[in-house]
Structure 1
Amino acid sequence: MVEMKVSLGDDQKVTARWDGFEVKTDQPVSYGGEGTAPSPFELFLASLATCAAFYVLEFCRTRDIPTEGVSLVERLITSEDGKEDKAIEMEIILPPEFPVKYEKAVVRAAGMCHVKKTILNPPEITLTARRAAG
């Protein structure tokens, strides 16, 4: 089980801590923050993209395919008014020398990302409140 401790900071800042890691978030200036760190939603998008990219990396490593020139671009598609997220597109950029026979397979590998699978098959999320010992 992973347990994160999340603390509230100044202004719009929030920090999550677990296993010796610390992730800071802030809101954009347009939402009242200072823009000093990614927003939680931006971290979600980064989590999805880096997870898919990790699977691409492992796919290449296990086949001794050089990873130079391989990258991933993620795009959030929103409604015209920007109020609704419509789609997330990810595109794997392959260099010209990438083996053609692996193009479809590397896309399938990226699709194995645990973050993507969790979005498509979401766990139950519960929220409760309790008073700290005083």
Structure 2
Amino acid sequence: MKVKAFWRIRYQVDVRARQFSVLTDEPVGFSGDDTGMMPTELFLSSIASCFCMALIYAAGKRQIEVEDMEVEVEGEKDLKNFRFTKLIVRVIRTVPSLTLEGLIEDARKYCFVSRTILDGCPIEYEVV
């Protein structure tokens, strides 16, 4: 799996994966033009979308029919140290509580993004 990022102007970056692209930027208050989501918002989006898919996958494995699913992720930022200090995943209740608790437990195993964050993953930097 691979994505590429292409700088455009100021803080605008076009990120591409397969046939898709997303424009990222920073808000005006951070020297950007506010033309797209911030990379930190995409990071939270990756957690939210992957966990939502993991919940749907877990429901399918348990043969539970889901009509609606909503996941919200909030991150507390430490601007001085350029990192998140806390991530909160909220699953908006759309199925009975007991069922949802089991689905969340299963989804924690199936969510590729949150597992990578929790388990850690080395990053290598290369110049090509």
> TM-score with structure 2 length normalisation?
0.82
Shift in alpha-carbon separation, 1:75–1:3, aligned structure 2, 3 A = closer
> 1:5 offset after TM fit, Å?
2.6
Q: CA deviation at 1:99?
A: 3.5
Structure showing greater Rg: 1
Counterparts of 2:59 and 2:119 in 1: how far apart (Å)?
27
Residues 77 and 5 from structure 1, CA distance in 2 versus in 1: closer, same or farther, beyond 3 angstroms? closer
Letter in 2 for 1:105: G
Secondary structure at 2:58's aligned position in 1?
helix
Mapped to 1, the partners of 2:71 and 2:20 lie a distance apart of: 25
How far 1:123 sits from its partner (Å)? 2.4
| SS of match in other structure, 1:106 | helix
Other-structure match for 1:128? 126
Deviation at 1:4, TM superposition (A): 2.5
Aligned to 1:106: 103
Q: Percent identity?
A: 23
Please report how far the alpha carbon of residue 59 of structure 1 lies from its aligned counterpart in structure 2 after TM superposition.
2.5
Q: CA deviation at 1:120?
A: 1.6
Select the structure that is richer in strand: 2
Q: Which moved further from structure 2: 35-44 or 101-110?
A: 101-110
Q: Is the 8 A contact 1:57 1:67 kept in 2?
A: no
Please show how residues 41-52 of structure 1 align to structure 2 within 5 Å. 41-52=40-51
Residue identity opposite 1:116 in structure 2: S
Structure 1, unpaired ranges of 5+: none
Q: Conserved in 2, the CA contact under 8 Å of 1:26 and 1:38?
A: yes
Provide runs of 4+ in structure 1 moved above 6 Å: none
Paired letter, 1:99 = P
What's the Cα RMSD here?
2.0
* Structure 1 residue 64, shift from structure 2 partner: 3.4
Structural mapping, 1:6-45, within 5 Å: 6-45=5-44
Question: Secondary structure in 2 aligned to 1:111?
Answer: helix
